[in-house]
Amino acid sequence: MKKTRIGIVGGTGYTASESLRLLLRHPHVEISRLTSRTDIGVDVEKVHPALRGRVPLAFTEYGLDDFRGEVDVAFCCLPHAASSPIVRELADAGIRVVDFSADYRLDDIASFQRWYQAEHADAARLGKVPYGLPELFRKEIRAAEVVANPGCFPTTAILALAPLVSADLIDPEDIVVDSKTGVSGGGRTPKLSFHFPECNESVAAYGVGTHRHWPEINQIVGRATGKPISAVFTPHLIPMDRGILSTIYVRPAVGVTA
């Protein structure tokens, strides 16, 4: 069976590292191209030591010509706003793309600009790109040229809420999502708040009322169920490497018992 050739754009961060770990377990794919803006020419195992001997490639600078004929599916692991120009270029060239940034998750350009304060290089695709939760959008994902990989907090909330909202079991206007996350969710670039003495033995709420995953939760549950919701969402940083625990409080709909 012919293997699907995978290219990863922005291959040095935690998202790329986790993607590589999962892809290496897949029997029908091969890693053919890895790019970086900072580690051009560096062997992958130097940046991701856990993959020593498993990815015999060096990072290259991104170029569309290098992906044509070499890559069937690209995983774009760049930050928001930096991702959409490359995703658009790859998709227009006939390469299927899974985008890990937030550039294609929201429904419209007004929402994106409000929450991310950035220009979007591919606004025409917003609202048309399938959200990458196969539990809810499997059919759309299969046929898509671009897939928006879900945000971390929204994944925990959407999977819990969509079945309840679909079945009219809860009040869609009375939802509280309380989430705890590990420090790797903040990415690999060093930041003071993720420094060990700053976060150890501590729990800290952040982005209260302003976190960018709040509209994603509301919009995607609405997209999956056809019913609008309004959830209150507060994330907390806790001193662990990875993982999320979300506790979600809802009010049963009238006539629904526990």
Report domain extents, the chain: 4-150, 153-252
Instruction: Give the mean model confidence (pLDDT) for residues 214-221.
Output: 96
Asked if residue 220 lies in contact with residue 207, where contact means CB atoms within 8 angstroms, the answer is no
Residue 76 annotated as catalytic: no
Helix (H, G, I), strand (E, B) or coil at 32: strand
Measured CA distances, 200 to 164, 195, 204, 205, 239 (Å): 36, 8, 11, 14, 5
- pTM reported for the whole predicted model: 0.92
Tell me how far apart the alpha carbons of residues 32 and 71 are, in angstroms, rounded to a whole number. 7
Strand boundaries in 92-163, DSSP class E = 96-99, 146-148
pLDDT of res. 227: 96
Mean pLDDT of the chain: 95
Measured CA distances, 231 to 78, 138, 151, 208, 236 (Å): 28, 25, 16, 13, 16
pLDDT of res. 189: 81
Residue, of 197 and 212, whose pLDDT is higher: 212
Q: Note the pLDDT tens digit of each residue in 125-155.
A: 999 999 999 999 999 999 999 999 999 999 9
**Angle at CA of residue 113, ends 92 and 174, nearest 5°:** 115
Q: Note the pLDDT tens digit of each residue in 22-66.
A: 999 999 999 999 999 999 999 999 999 999 999 999 999 999 999
Lateral strand order in the sheet of 4-9: 29-34, 4-9, 73-76, 96-99, 146-148
The strand pair at 244-252 and 170-181 is best described as antiparallel
Q: What type of residue sits at position 75?
A: F
Tell me how far apart the alpha carbons of residues 169 and 189 are, in angstroms, rounded to a whole number. 42
pLDDT of res. 181: 96
174-202: burial string, b at 16+ Cβ within 10 Å, e else: ebebebbbbbbbbeeeeeeebeeeebeee
pLDDT of res. 192: 84
**153-252 CATH:** 3.30.360.10
Helix (H, G, I), strand (E, B) or coil at 42: coil
Task: Tell me, rounded to whole angstroms, the distance of Cα 86 from its chain centroid.
Answer: 16
111 dihedral zone (left: phi>0; alpha: psi -120 to 50; beta): alpha
Q: Note the pLDDT tens digit of each residue in 153-206.
A: 999 999 999 999 999 999 999 999 999 999 988 887 888 888 888 888 999 999
- Residue tagged active-site, from 76, 77, 152, 199: 152
Q: For domain 4-150, give the CATH superfamily.
A: NAD(P)-binding Rossmann-like Domain (3.40.50.720)
pLDDT of res. 195: 84
